[in-house]
Each structure stands twice: as C-alpha cells, then as structure tokens.
Amino acid sequence: MFAALLATLSAGSAFAIDTAGWRESDYRDALCAGMQMEVSLGAYGRADCVSETHAIEIDWADKFKQGVGQALTYSQRTDLIPGLILICRRSEALCLDHSLAAQETLSAYGAEATVWECGLDSVSLDDCVERHIAAAP
C-alpha cells in the first residue's frame, strides 16, 4: 500500500503525504524507492539502500558522524560510491553545518561520495539537495 501511494505521488498526484512522526525506516522506504533496501553486509551491518552506483546510509543530520562511518564502511564492502542521506530534524542552519562537516570528512578520505540533504517533508530523493564530492586526483 505504501509503495502504491508513493508511486501515485511520484506521478504528480495532488495529494500530499503527512510525514509528521515518520521514523528513519519510513524515510528509507520513501527515499530508497527503486533501490535494494536493508542489504546485509555480514558482520559489517546492513546498507540502508544500494543502487547501481551507491551504497547509502540514511541518518538524521545531527547523527552525521555515525552516518559518514557507515557510508564509508558500506562503500568499502560493496565497491560502490559512499552515499549519505541526511534528514534535517533541527534548524536548517544546523543541518547545513552538519552536511558540510559530513562532506568535508568524506572529502578527506579522497573518495568520490554523495550527500543528500533532505527535509522532514521529503518523500523522494528528487525532493533533496544532492551534493557530489569529487574523488581526489
């Protein structure tokens, strides 16, 4: 039912989803639509989403440090680009600070990466700001 509702909304429906009270897993289901979800990596945990190019962790923006570590671990285990979806549940300014810190940390490792900045009302990655971190030369 949830997937059908998201498909309807993605197709341009006039309905809106009330995301109040959504948990991290609800955002995973919405933001990772069309990707593999909860991909087991053995002792290394589970990647929230895996696309053809990215191994992705979803976390609240204020937990970006954990998210960076998990995204790098998933990337190392899958040979995919690390991805981090940050969901803002605090002030926009604080969330932007957290996103910048995540981007700087990922950049310090020299690998290509992607960070998505999502609001509490985001129901698709298209609703988020995508930040690419270039690989070091």
Query: What's this model's pTM, rounded to 2 decimal places?
Result: 0.85
Give me the tens of pLDDT residue by residue for the chain, a chain 137 residues long: 333 334 434 444 445 677 778 888 999 999 999 999 999 999 999 999 999 999 999 999 999 999 999 999 999 999 999 999 999 999 999 999 999 999 999 999 998 999 999 999 999 999 999 999 999 88
Distance CA 55, CA 8 (A): 26
Domain, as residue range, for 55? 23-133
Q: Is residue 5 part of a domain?
A: no
Distance CA 67, CA 38 (A): 15
State residue 105's pLDDT score.
96
Q: Is residue 3 part of a domain?
A: no
Q: Is residue 79 part of a domain?
A: yes
